[in-house]
């Protein structure tokens, strides 16, 4: 059975309330979450990477941070289709203000070689939307993103109510936020890992993707001729492939 881990991470840091290195208390919380998560597939490692990624964006600039954390061959899924992150980022100047983001769910293979994160972002102008990133392991406790998709909500949610209560689509600064972490079942001798799922052939749709080294998590992106974008991911549970994520988005945002 796939393991579901609730990760209590302080989001005041994620939301940009503090600057510089993580506070001692926050670092202890992250280290504690890493320590209690079993096996190589630890969602907390990806959460910690998102924390450091967002902090670097505030310190050095948004697109500089994206470049620093990008894997070789990384893709940004834009309205015209996925493009080379290295080429696109080399032409971008850092905005004066960075977007803020907060992961809400993480899926990871049993061996930790591949992961996906999904969350919310807010632009400097105050617009909000969803993002999905695919992460690949680049060493012990280290990850680089290899695919990025972001889209603004359309329509945008109404402004926060005067009472201060937050809807599920808002990015709010709170003391703690529970981030869902999902870990795929590990291969077992008496329960063989299923063969990778074949991508369906669809006229007018470009698609590609990948699979973890232990073959317990796989994903693919799709791009329609009308600019529609989609990312789908599956994980192994009980000897079968189960849906983890299926996100369809319209035209790309700038973040």
**What distance in Å separates the CA atoms of residue 65 and residue 100, rounded to the nearest whole number?**
13
Mean pLDDT of the chain: 82
The label of the residue with tokens 């991911």 reads: 233
User: Beta strands 128-139 and 114-122: pairing type?
Assistant: antiparallel
pTM above 0.85, yes or no: no
Q: Which of 48-62, 96-110, 111-125, 172-186 has the weakest average pLDDT?
A: 172-186
Instruction: Name the fold adopted by 3-152+167-187+202-249.
Output: Nuclear Transport Factor 2; Chain: A, (3.10.450)
pLDDT at 21 over 70: no
Question: Which three-class secondary structure state does DSSP give residue 50?
Answer: helix
Q: What is the mean pLDDT of the segment spanning 132-146?
A: 93
**pLDDT tens track for 86-128:** 999 999 999 999 999 999 999 999 999 999 999 999 999 999 9
Residue 160 backbone class (left: φ over 0; alpha: ψ -120 to 50; beta: rest): beta
Mean pLDDT of 216-227: 94
DSSP letter string, 155-166: SPPPPPPTT---
pLDDT at position 134 is 99
201 pLDDT band, cuts 50/70/90, is: confident
Mean pLDDT of 4-11: 46
Helix axes 43-60, 24-36, angle to 10 degrees: 150
For residue 17, name the pLDDT band (cuts at 50, 70, 90).
very low
């Amino acid at each position: 059975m796939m393991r579901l881990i609730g990760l209590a991470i302080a989001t005041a840091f994620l939301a940009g309330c503090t600057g510089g290195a993580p506070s001692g208390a926050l670092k202890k919380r992250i280290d504690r979450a890493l320590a209690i998560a079993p096996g190589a597939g630890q969602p907390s490692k990806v959460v910690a990477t998102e924390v450091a990624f967002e902090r670097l964006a505030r310190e050095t600039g948004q697109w500089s941070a994206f470049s620093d954390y990008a894997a070789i061959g990384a893709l940004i899924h834009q309205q015209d289709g996925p493009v080379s992150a290295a080429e696109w980022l080399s032409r971008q100047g850092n905005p004066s203000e960075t977007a803020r983001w907060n992961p809400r769910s993480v899926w990871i293979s049993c061996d930790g070689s591949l992961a996906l994160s999904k969350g919310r972002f807010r632009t400097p102008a105050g617009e909000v939307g969803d993002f999905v990133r695919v992460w690949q392991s680049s060493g012990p406790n280290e990850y680089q993103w290899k695919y990025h998709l972001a889209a603004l909500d359309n329509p945008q949610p109404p402004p926060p109510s005067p009472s201060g209560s937050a809807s599920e689509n808002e990015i709010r600064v709170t003391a703690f936020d529970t981030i869902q972490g999902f870990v795929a079942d590990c291969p077992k001798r008496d329960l063989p890992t299923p063969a990778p799922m074949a991508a369906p052939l669809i006229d007018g749709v470009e698609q590609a993707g990948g699979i973890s080294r232990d073959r317990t998590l796989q994903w693919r992106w799709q791009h329609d001729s009308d600019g529609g974008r989609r990312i789908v991911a599956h994980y192994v549970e009980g000897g079968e492939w189960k849906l983890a994520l299926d996100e369809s988005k319209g035209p790309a945002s700038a973040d």
